[in-house]
């Protein structure tokens, strides 16, 4: 692909992350280029969430570097990374249960002006009509699928250049999973670059351009999504065939 000649939008180099004495990420490197959908797959506990949380600035890495849009963001606080256009829709959604749908969305635009927030709010209500219907409802009372939509819309409220999604399909019925992946494709079409973590490797590989396979804190395989989808080892380990 010609993309490899440009500067990557996100570049992670030799990242090491610890939880106390636990060495969770043992030197991973990855790149995401503009306009790509890249997926990170791996078994439970492989370190997928840790990787995304570290990129987002929630966890500080021990060593290694993270560059976003040409700027070094290693160890920077999340609150400074978000306005640069890097957003994470976290595992388990983490919507603000006691706030209304509208308030949740407004919080997603926390770093932007109220004018910009109003514009994005309209956009989100168009993209997610369900959220518009329920804008006054307390988020904790939404269904799981609605909460996932809300979490995604909230993460989009800061107009990210790169959106990271951590297991957006977790615990959802198949029809909703399809809908989530449909939205991810639409997002990509509208110019958002996507870094996607998924348990559902089949779906993730079919929507992504490139993929990394993470195994206990190390990247064991990488390549085009197409190739990995047909790779024997991947099929055995993650596609259940």
Partner 1 sequence: MVFLSNLVNGISLGSIYAIIALGYTMVYGIAKMLNFAHGDVIMVGAYIAFCALQYWNLHPLVALLLAMVFCTLLGITIEGLAYRPLRRATSLAVLITAIGMSYLLQNLALLIWGATPKNFPGLFSLGAVSLFSGQLKISGNTLLTIAANIVIMIALTTFTAKTKLGKAMRCVSENRGAAELMGINVNRTISATFAIGSALAAIAGVLLCSAYPTLQPTTGSMPGIKAFTAAVFGGIGSIPGAMIGGILLGVIEILGKAYISTELGDAIVFAVLIVVLLVRPTGLLGKAVREKV
Ligand X SMILES: Nc1ncnc2c1ncn2[C@@H]1O[C@H](COP(=O)(O)OP(=O)(O)OP(=O)(O)O)[C@@H](O)[C@H]1O
Binding residues for ligand X, rule: CB under 6 A, are 19, 22, 24, 42, 44-50, 91, 199
Instruction: For residue 28, count CB atoms less than 10 angstroms from its CB and return exposed for 0-12, middle for 13-18, buried for 19 or more.
Output: buried
**Closer to ligand X by Cβ: residue 47 or 64:** 47
Q: How far is CA 236 from CA 33, 190, 216, 230, 239, in A?
A: 28, 34, 17, 10, 6
User: CB under 5 A: which stretch of 49-57, 59-67, 100-108, 144-152 binds Mg ion?
Assistant: 49-57
Which residues, numbered 123-152, are part of the site for Mg ion (CB under 5 A)? none
Binding residues for partner 1 restricted to 94-113, rule: CB under 8 A: 94-99, 103, 106-108, 110-111
Which one of 43, 58, 221, 239 is in contact with partner 1 (CB under 8 A)? Answer: 58
- Which of residues 38 and 158 has its CB atom nearest to partner 1 in the complex? 158
| Binding partner at 129 among ligand X, partner 1, Mg ion, none, C-beta below 5 to 8 Å by kind | none
53 near Mg ion, rule: CB under 5 A: no
Write the binding mask 137 to 176 for partner 1: x where contact by CB under 8 A, - elsewhere.
---x---x--x------xx--x------------x-----
Main-chain phi, psi angles of 105, to 5 degrees:
-65, -40
Cβ 146 to partner 1 shortest distance, Å: 12
């Amino acid at each position: 692909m010609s993309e490899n000649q440009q500067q990557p939008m996100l570049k992670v180099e030799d990242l090491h992350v610890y939880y106390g004495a636990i060495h969770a990420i043992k030197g991973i490197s990855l790149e995401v280029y503009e306009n790509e959908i890249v997926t990170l797959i791996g078994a439970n506990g492989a370190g997928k969430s840790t990787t995304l949380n570290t990129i987002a600035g929630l966890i500080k890495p021990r060593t290694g570097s993270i560059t976003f849009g040409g700027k070094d963001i290693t160890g920077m606080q999340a609150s400074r990374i978000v306005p640069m256009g890097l957003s994470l829709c976290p595992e388990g959604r983490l919507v603000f249960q006691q706030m209304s749908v509208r308030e949740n969305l407004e919080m997603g635009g926390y770093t932007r002006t109220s004018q910009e927030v109003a514009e994005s709010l309209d956009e989100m209500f168009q993209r997610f009509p369900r959220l518009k219907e329920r804008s006054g409802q307390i988020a904790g009372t939404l269904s799981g699928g609605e909460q996932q939509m809300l979490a995604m819309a909230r993460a989009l409220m800061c107009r990210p250049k790169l959106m990271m999604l951590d297991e957006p399909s977790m615990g959802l019925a198949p029809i909703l999973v399809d809908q989530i992946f449909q939205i991810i494709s639409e997002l990509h079409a509208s110019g958002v670059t996507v870094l996607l973590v998924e348990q559902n490797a089949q779906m993730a590989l079919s929507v992504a351009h490139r993929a990394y396979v993470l195994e206990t804190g190390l990247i064991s395989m990488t390549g085009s999504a197409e190739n990995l989808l047909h790779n024997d080892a991947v099929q055995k380990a993650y596609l259940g065939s």
